[in-house]
Amino acid sequence: MTDVVDLRQYGEGFRADPHPVYAELRRRGPVHRVMLPAPDEYETWLIVGHEEARAALADPRLSKDPEKLGSSRFEGDPVGKHMLACDPPQHTRLRTLVSRAFTPRRVEAMRPRIQEITDELLDRMLPAGRADLVEALSYPLPIAVICELLGVPDGDRADFRAMSGNAVAPATDADRQKAAEAFGTYLTELIADKRAAGPGDDLLSELVEVAGDDGDRLSDRELIGMAFVLLLAGHETTVNLITSGVHALLTHPDQLALLREDMGLLEGAVEETLRYEGPVETATFRFAAEPLEVAGVPFARGDQVMIGLAAANRDPGRHLDPNRFDIRRVSTGHLAFGHGIHFCLGAPLARLEARIAIGSLLRRAPRLALDGPPGEWLPGMLVRGLRSLPVRW
Protein backbone atom coordinates (compact mmCIF):
# COMPACT_ATOMS: atom_id res chain seq x y z
CA MET A 1 0.00 0.00 0.00
CA THR A 2 1.37 3.41 -0.98
CA ASP A 3 2.14 5.79 1.87
CA VAL A 4 0.19 9.03 1.67
CA VAL A 5 1.91 12.29 2.59
CA ASP A 6 -0.68 14.48 4.29
CA LEU A 7 0.23 18.03 3.30
CA ARG A 8 -2.31 19.33 5.80
CA GLN A 9 0.06 18.38 8.63
CA TYR A 10 2.34 21.29 7.70
CA GLY A 11 -0.41 23.81 8.42
CA GLU A 12 -0.06 27.44 7.39
CA GLY A 13 3.69 26.97 7.10
CA PHE A 14 3.19 25.03 3.87
CA ARG A 15 1.10 27.82 2.40
CA ALA A 16 3.67 30.46 3.37
CA ASP A 17 6.69 28.47 2.17
CA PRO A 18 6.14 25.07 0.55
CA HIS A 19 9.73 24.76 -0.69
CA PRO A 20 11.19 22.97 2.37
CA VAL A 21 8.39 20.40 2.12
CA TYR A 22 9.04 19.91 -1.60
CA ALA A 23 12.76 19.51 -0.86
CA GLU A 24 11.97 16.83 1.74
CA LEU A 25 9.73 15.01 -0.75
CA ARG A 26 12.36 15.18 -3.51
CA ARG A 27 14.94 13.62 -1.18
CA ARG A 28 12.56 10.70 -0.72
CA GLY A 29 11.71 10.37 -4.41
CA PRO A 30 10.31 12.27 -7.39
CA VAL A 31 6.69 10.99 -7.12
CA HIS A 32 4.40 10.82 -4.08
CA ARG A 33 0.82 10.12 -3.12
CA VAL A 34 -0.39 13.19 -1.20
CA MET A 35 -3.43 14.54 0.60
CA LEU A 36 -3.93 18.12 -0.57
CA PRO A 37 -4.39 20.97 1.92
CA ALA A 38 -7.57 23.06 2.12
CA PRO A 39 -9.64 23.98 0.23
CA ASP A 40 -9.19 20.75 -1.80
CA GLU A 41 -8.43 18.02 0.77
CA TYR A 42 -8.37 14.88 -1.35
CA GLU A 43 -5.69 12.43 -2.47
CA THR A 44 -3.75 12.69 -5.71
CA TRP A 45 -0.31 11.92 -7.16
CA LEU A 46 2.26 14.71 -7.02
CA ILE A 47 5.42 14.83 -9.16
CA VAL A 48 8.21 16.93 -7.59
CA GLY A 49 11.35 16.02 -9.60
CA HIS A 50 12.38 18.23 -12.54
CA GLU A 51 13.23 15.50 -15.03
CA GLU A 52 10.05 13.57 -14.21
CA ALA A 53 7.89 16.71 -14.29
CA ARG A 54 9.24 17.82 -17.67
CA ALA A 55 8.60 14.37 -19.13
CA ALA A 56 5.11 14.19 -17.60
CA LEU A 57 4.13 17.59 -19.03
CA ALA A 58 4.75 16.20 -22.54
CA ASP A 59 3.48 12.64 -21.98
CA PRO A 60 0.33 12.00 -24.07
CA ARG A 61 -0.65 9.19 -21.71
CA LEU A 62 -1.36 11.84 -19.09
CA SER A 63 -4.56 13.32 -20.44
CA LYS A 64 -6.01 16.75 -19.76
CA ASP A 65 -9.48 15.59 -20.80
CA PRO A 66 -11.51 13.96 -17.99
CA GLU A 67 -14.21 13.02 -20.51
CA LYS A 68 -11.84 10.37 -21.87
CA LEU A 69 -12.37 8.56 -18.60
CA GLY A 70 -16.14 8.81 -18.72
CA SER A 71 -16.44 12.00 -16.66
CA SER A 72 -19.40 14.26 -17.31
CA ARG A 73 -17.63 17.17 -15.63
CA PHE A 74 -18.46 19.69 -18.35
CA GLU A 75 -22.15 18.88 -18.65
CA GLY A 76 -23.92 22.00 -17.48
CA ASP A 77 -20.61 23.72 -16.68
CA PRO A 78 -21.20 27.47 -17.08
CA VAL A 79 -17.78 28.02 -18.62
CA GLY A 80 -17.62 24.76 -20.56
CA LYS A 81 -14.67 22.84 -21.89
CA HIS A 82 -11.56 24.84 -22.76
CA MET A 83 -8.02 24.45 -24.04
CA LEU A 84 -6.61 23.47 -20.63
CA ALA A 85 -9.00 20.51 -20.45
CA CYS A 86 -8.59 18.78 -23.78
CA ASP A 87 -6.07 16.75 -25.79
CA PRO A 88 -5.20 16.52 -29.50
CA PRO A 89 -6.83 16.70 -31.94
CA GLN A 90 -9.30 18.99 -30.15
CA HIS A 91 -6.53 20.91 -28.39
CA THR A 92 -4.58 21.26 -31.64
CA ARG A 93 -7.64 22.71 -33.38
CA LEU A 94 -8.40 25.22 -30.60
CA ARG A 95 -4.80 26.32 -30.16
CA THR A 96 -4.33 26.73 -33.91
CA LEU A 97 -7.40 28.97 -34.16
CA VAL A 98 -6.47 31.18 -31.22
CA SER A 99 -2.86 31.40 -32.41
CA ARG A 100 -4.09 32.95 -35.66
CA ALA A 101 -5.34 35.92 -33.63
CA PHE A 102 -3.06 35.97 -30.57
CA THR A 103 0.23 36.40 -32.44
CA PRO A 104 3.72 37.49 -31.29
CA ARG A 105 3.27 40.56 -33.48
CA ARG A 106 0.09 41.50 -31.58
CA VAL A 107 1.92 41.11 -28.25
CA GLU A 108 4.90 43.20 -29.37
CA ALA A 109 2.56 45.89 -30.72
CA MET A 110 1.24 46.30 -27.18
CA ARG A 111 4.64 47.35 -25.78
CA PRO A 112 4.02 51.13 -26.01
CA ARG A 113 0.57 50.79 -24.45
CA ILE A 114 1.90 48.61 -21.60
CA GLN A 115 4.57 51.24 -20.91
CA GLU A 116 1.93 53.98 -21.02
CA ILE A 117 -0.34 52.19 -18.54
CA THR A 118 2.64 51.49 -16.26
CA ASP A 119 3.68 55.15 -16.31
CA GLU A 120 0.12 56.27 -15.53
CA LEU A 121 -0.07 53.91 -12.57
CA LEU A 122 3.31 55.04 -11.24
CA ASP A 123 2.30 58.69 -11.67
CA ARG A 124 -0.62 58.04 -9.33
CA MET A 125 1.34 55.81 -6.95
CA LEU A 126 4.66 57.56 -6.37
CA PRO A 127 3.59 60.91 -4.83
CA ALA A 128 2.16 59.06 -1.80
CA GLY A 129 5.56 57.70 -0.77
CA ARG A 130 4.18 54.29 0.14
CA ALA A 131 1.64 51.82 -1.24
CA ASP A 132 0.49 48.24 -1.46
CA LEU A 133 2.27 47.20 -4.65
CA VAL A 134 -0.48 44.70 -5.55
CA GLU A 135 -3.23 47.33 -5.41
CA ALA A 136 -1.18 50.11 -6.98
CA LEU A 137 0.68 48.33 -9.79
CA SER A 138 0.83 44.52 -9.90
CA TYR A 139 -2.92 44.04 -10.25
CA PRO A 140 -4.14 47.06 -12.25
CA LEU A 141 -1.49 46.74 -14.96
CA PRO A 142 -2.22 43.15 -16.12
CA ILE A 143 -5.98 43.59 -15.74
CA ALA A 144 -5.90 46.74 -17.88
CA VAL A 145 -3.72 45.04 -20.50
CA ILE A 146 -5.74 41.83 -20.81
CA CYS A 147 -9.06 43.67 -20.75
CA GLU A 148 -7.91 46.05 -23.48
CA LEU A 149 -6.50 43.13 -25.45
CA LEU A 150 -9.75 41.19 -25.27
CA GLY A 151 -12.12 44.15 -25.45
CA VAL A 152 -13.61 44.01 -21.93
CA PRO A 153 -15.36 47.32 -21.09
CA ASP A 154 -13.70 49.49 -18.43
CA GLY A 155 -16.76 49.43 -16.21
CA ASP A 156 -16.69 45.64 -15.89
CA ARG A 157 -13.18 45.34 -14.47
CA ALA A 158 -14.04 45.59 -10.77
CA ASP A 159 -16.56 42.75 -11.05
CA PHE A 160 -14.05 40.78 -13.08
CA ARG A 161 -11.49 41.00 -10.28
CA ALA A 162 -13.85 39.40 -7.76
CA MET A 163 -14.75 36.62 -10.19
CA SER A 164 -11.16 35.80 -11.09
CA GLY A 165 -9.91 35.76 -7.51
CA ASN A 166 -12.47 33.15 -6.53
CA ALA A 167 -11.78 31.14 -9.69
CA VAL A 168 -8.03 30.64 -9.15
CA ALA A 169 -7.62 30.85 -5.36
CA PRO A 170 -11.01 30.10 -3.79
CA ALA A 171 -11.45 29.68 -0.07
CA THR A 172 -14.06 26.98 -0.68
CA ASP A 173 -15.45 24.87 -3.51
CA ALA A 174 -18.66 26.90 -3.26
CA ASP A 175 -16.68 30.07 -4.04
CA ARG A 176 -15.12 28.36 -7.05
CA GLN A 177 -18.52 27.28 -8.37
CA LYS A 178 -20.02 30.76 -7.89
CA ALA A 179 -17.07 32.26 -9.78
CA ALA A 180 -17.56 29.82 -12.68
CA GLU A 181 -21.26 30.66 -12.88
CA ALA A 182 -20.57 34.39 -12.81
CA PHE A 183 -17.91 34.03 -15.50
CA GLY A 184 -20.19 31.93 -17.68
CA THR A 185 -23.01 34.46 -17.53
CA TYR A 186 -20.71 37.43 -18.10
CA LEU A 187 -18.80 35.92 -21.02
CA THR A 188 -21.98 34.72 -22.73
CA GLU A 189 -23.26 38.30 -22.75
CA LEU A 190 -19.90 39.75 -23.78
CA ILE A 191 -19.54 37.40 -26.76
CA ALA A 192 -23.12 38.13 -27.84
CA ASP A 193 -22.25 41.84 -27.77
CA LYS A 194 -19.14 41.21 -29.89
CA ARG A 195 -21.13 39.25 -32.47
CA ALA A 196 -23.75 41.99 -32.66
CA ALA A 197 -21.12 44.73 -33.03
CA GLY A 198 -19.35 42.99 -35.91
CA PRO A 199 -15.59 43.02 -36.66
CA GLY A 200 -13.45 44.89 -34.14
CA ASP A 201 -9.78 45.46 -33.27
CA ASP A 202 -9.78 43.55 -29.98
CA LEU A 203 -8.72 39.91 -29.66
CA LEU A 204 -12.14 38.58 -28.65
CA SER A 205 -13.81 40.21 -31.66
CA GLU A 206 -11.15 38.65 -33.86
CA LEU A 207 -11.69 35.23 -32.24
CA VAL A 208 -15.39 35.52 -33.09
CA GLU A 209 -14.42 36.01 -36.73
CA VAL A 210 -11.29 33.84 -37.02
CA ALA A 211 -11.51 30.82 -39.28
CA GLY A 212 -9.21 27.97 -40.22
CA ASP A 213 -8.13 27.15 -43.76
CA ASP A 214 -11.15 24.87 -44.02
CA GLY A 215 -13.56 27.53 -42.75
CA ASP A 216 -13.65 26.06 -39.23
CA ARG A 217 -14.74 28.53 -36.54
CA LEU A 218 -15.03 28.59 -32.76
CA SER A 219 -18.52 27.86 -31.43
CA ASP A 220 -20.05 30.11 -28.77
CA ARG A 221 -19.25 27.53 -26.08
CA GLU A 222 -15.66 27.31 -27.31
CA LEU A 223 -15.41 31.11 -27.33
CA ILE A 224 -16.60 31.24 -23.72
CA GLY A 225 -14.01 28.65 -22.69
CA MET A 226 -11.27 30.42 -24.65
CA ALA A 227 -12.10 33.83 -23.21
CA PHE A 228 -12.19 32.33 -19.70
CA VAL A 229 -8.70 30.85 -20.07
CA LEU A 230 -7.22 33.97 -21.69
CA LEU A 231 -8.70 36.33 -19.10
CA LEU A 232 -7.62 34.26 -16.12
CA ALA A 233 -4.23 33.09 -17.36
CA GLY A 234 -3.63 36.47 -18.97
CA HIS A 235 -3.67 38.42 -15.76
CA GLU A 236 -3.59 36.31 -12.56
CA THR A 237 -0.18 34.86 -13.36
CA THR A 238 1.28 38.26 -14.29
CA VAL A 239 0.00 39.89 -11.08
CA ASN A 240 1.91 37.31 -9.07
CA LEU A 241 5.00 37.41 -11.30
CA ILE A 242 5.39 41.17 -10.83
CA THR A 243 4.74 41.02 -7.07
CA SER A 244 7.02 38.03 -6.46
CA GLY A 245 9.75 39.60 -8.58
CA VAL A 246 9.76 42.81 -6.55
CA HIS A 247 9.49 40.86 -3.28
CA ALA A 248 12.45 38.65 -4.22
CA LEU A 249 14.58 41.66 -5.13
CA LEU A 250 13.73 43.57 -1.96
CA THR A 251 14.51 40.55 0.22
CA HIS A 252 17.80 39.95 -1.62
CA PRO A 253 19.46 43.37 -1.51
CA ASP A 254 22.64 42.10 -3.16
CA GLN A 255 20.64 41.10 -6.23
CA LEU A 256 18.71 44.37 -6.22
CA ALA A 257 22.02 46.26 -6.14
CA LEU A 258 23.32 44.22 -9.09
CA LEU A 259 20.20 45.03 -11.10
CA ARG A 260 20.34 48.74 -10.26
CA GLU A 261 23.96 48.81 -11.42
CA ASP A 262 23.10 47.03 -14.66
CA MET A 263 19.51 47.13 -15.86
CA GLY A 264 20.62 44.84 -18.66
CA LEU A 265 20.12 42.09 -16.06
CA LEU A 266 16.36 42.77 -15.99
CA GLU A 267 15.51 39.90 -18.32
CA GLY A 268 17.54 37.56 -16.12
CA ALA A 269 15.79 38.89 -13.01
CA VAL A 270 12.38 38.07 -14.48
CA GLU A 271 13.49 34.59 -15.57
CA GLU A 272 15.00 33.90 -12.16
CA THR A 273 11.75 35.01 -10.50
CA LEU A 274 9.88 32.55 -12.72
CA ARG A 275 12.20 29.77 -11.58
CA TYR A 276 12.58 30.78 -7.93
CA GLU A 277 8.98 31.80 -7.12
CA GLY A 278 6.92 31.31 -10.25
CA PRO A 279 3.24 32.30 -10.29
CA VAL A 280 1.93 28.78 -10.97
CA GLU A 281 2.74 26.31 -8.19
CA THR A 282 1.33 23.20 -9.86
CA ALA A 283 0.09 22.57 -13.39
CA THR A 284 -3.61 21.98 -13.90
CA PHE A 285 -4.65 18.36 -13.41
CA ARG A 286 -3.84 15.48 -15.68
CA PHE A 287 -5.34 11.97 -15.66
CA ALA A 288 -3.71 8.67 -16.51
CA ALA A 289 -5.46 7.61 -19.72
CA GLU A 290 -3.83 4.19 -19.41
CA PRO A 291 -1.68 2.39 -16.83
CA LEU A 292 1.87 3.78 -16.76
CA GLU A 293 4.88 4.26 -14.53
CA VAL A 294 6.70 7.46 -13.60
CA ALA A 295 10.06 6.90 -11.88
CA GLY A 296 9.00 3.35 -11.11
CA VAL A 297 5.74 4.44 -9.45
CA PRO A 298 2.70 2.82 -11.09
CA PHE A 299 -0.31 4.94 -12.01
CA ALA A 300 -3.60 3.16 -12.67
CA ARG A 301 -5.93 4.26 -15.45
CA GLY A 302 -7.97 7.18 -14.15
CA ASP A 303 -5.46 8.29 -11.51
CA GLN A 304 -5.27 12.04 -11.09
CA VAL A 305 -1.79 13.56 -11.33
CA MET A 306 -0.45 16.96 -10.28
CA ILE A 307 2.87 18.19 -11.67
CA GLY A 308 4.70 20.43 -9.22
CA LEU A 309 6.22 23.28 -11.23
CA ALA A 310 7.51 25.10 -8.15
CA ALA A 311 8.98 21.88 -6.79
CA ALA A 312 10.63 20.98 -10.10
CA ASN A 313 12.12 24.45 -10.50
CA ARG A 314 14.09 24.04 -7.26
CA ASP A 315 15.35 20.55 -8.00
CA PRO A 316 19.13 20.56 -7.29
CA GLY A 317 19.48 17.93 -10.01
CA ARG A 318 18.60 20.66 -12.53
CA HIS A 319 19.66 23.94 -10.89
CA LEU A 320 22.81 24.42 -8.81
CA ASP A 321 22.07 25.82 -5.34
CA PRO A 322 18.38 26.11 -6.27
CA ASN A 323 17.25 27.96 -3.14
CA ARG A 324 19.53 30.90 -3.97
CA PHE A 325 17.95 33.80 -5.86
CA ASP A 326 20.55 34.75 -8.48
CA ILE A 327 19.57 37.09 -11.33
CA ARG A 328 22.79 36.21 -13.19
CA ARG A 329 21.84 32.54 -13.24
CA VAL A 330 21.19 30.94 -16.62
CA SER A 331 17.59 30.00 -15.79
CA THR A 332 16.74 28.38 -19.10
CA GLY A 333 14.96 25.11 -18.64
CA HIS A 334 12.61 26.21 -15.85
CA LEU A 335 9.05 24.94 -16.07
CA ALA A 336 7.20 28.05 -14.87
CA PHE A 337 5.19 28.20 -18.11
CA GLY A 338 4.92 24.44 -18.48
CA HIS A 339 6.33 22.36 -21.32
CA GLY A 340 5.04 20.57 -24.41
CA ILE A 341 1.82 21.28 -26.29
CA HIS A 342 0.25 23.03 -23.28
CA PHE A 343 3.14 25.51 -22.88
CA CYS A 344 1.59 28.82 -21.83
CA LEU A 345 0.32 30.72 -24.85
CA GLY A 346 0.60 34.02 -22.96
CA ALA A 347 4.22 33.61 -21.82
CA PRO A 348 5.58 36.39 -24.10
CA LEU A 349 2.95 38.84 -22.81
CA ALA A 350 3.63 37.98 -19.16
CA ARG A 351 7.38 38.40 -19.63
CA LEU A 352 6.90 41.73 -21.42
CA GLU A 353 4.62 43.14 -18.73
CA ALA A 354 6.91 42.02 -15.89
CA ARG A 355 10.01 43.54 -17.49
CA ILE A 356 8.27 46.86 -18.12
CA ALA A 357 6.63 47.01 -14.67
CA ILE A 358 9.67 46.03 -12.60
CA GLY A 359 12.12 48.05 -14.70
CA SER A 360 9.97 51.20 -14.60
CA LEU A 361 9.36 50.89 -10.86
CA LEU A 362 13.06 50.55 -10.04
CA ARG A 363 14.04 53.47 -12.29
CA ARG A 364 11.44 55.79 -10.79
CA ALA A 365 11.73 54.67 -7.16
CA PRO A 366 15.48 54.46 -6.43
CA ARG A 367 14.88 54.09 -2.66
CA LEU A 368 12.26 51.35 -2.96
CA ALA A 369 12.03 49.19 0.18
CA LEU A 370 9.62 46.96 2.05
CA ASP A 371 7.20 48.83 4.31
CA GLY A 372 6.35 46.03 6.71
CA PRO A 373 5.65 42.32 6.31
CA PRO A 374 3.99 41.09 3.12
CA GLY A 375 0.41 39.87 3.13
CA GLU A 376 -0.59 36.22 3.26
CA TRP A 377 0.09 33.83 0.41
CA LEU A 378 -2.86 32.74 -1.70
CA PRO A 379 -4.63 29.52 -0.67
CA GLY A 380 -4.50 26.28 -2.62
CA MET A 381 -1.73 24.82 -4.76
CA LEU A 382 -2.57 26.23 -8.19
CA VAL A 383 -1.27 29.80 -8.02
CA ARG A 384 1.60 31.13 -5.93
CA GLY A 385 1.42 34.77 -4.95
CA LEU A 386 1.02 37.36 -2.20
CA ARG A 387 -2.27 39.10 -1.45
CA SER A 388 -0.41 42.34 -0.67
CA LEU A 389 3.11 43.78 -0.61
CA PRO A 390 3.57 47.05 1.34
CA VAL A 391 6.41 49.16 -0.10
CA ARG A 392 7.81 52.66 0.41
CA TRP A 393 10.34 54.81 -1.38
Residue 385: which CATH number? 1.10.630.10
The total number of structural domains that make up the chain:
1
Residue 152: pLDDT over 70? yes
Residue 270 C-alpha from the chain's centroid: 14
H or E element at residue 251 = none
pLDDT at 160: 72
pLDDT at 170: 60
pLDDT confidence band for 372 (50 / 70 / 90): very high
Burial of 93 (0-12, 13-18, 19+ CB in 10 A): middle
With CA atoms as reference, report the closest residue to 278 among 349, 356, 338, 355: 338
pLDDT digits (tens, 9 = 90+) for 1-49: 579 999 999 999 999 999 999 999 999 999 999 999 988 889 999 999 9
Task: Give me the mean pLDDT over the 51-78 stretch.
Answer: 83
pLDDT digits (tens, 9 = 90+) for 223-263: 888 888 887 777 788 999 999 999 999 999 999 999 999 99
Structural domain range at position 57 = 4-392
pLDDT confidence band for 317 (50 / 70 / 90): very high
The whole-model pTM stands at: 0.92
Residue 355: pLDDT over 70? yes
Count the Cβ atoms, other than its own, within 10 Å of residue 34.
Answer: 22
* Length of the chain as a residue count: 393
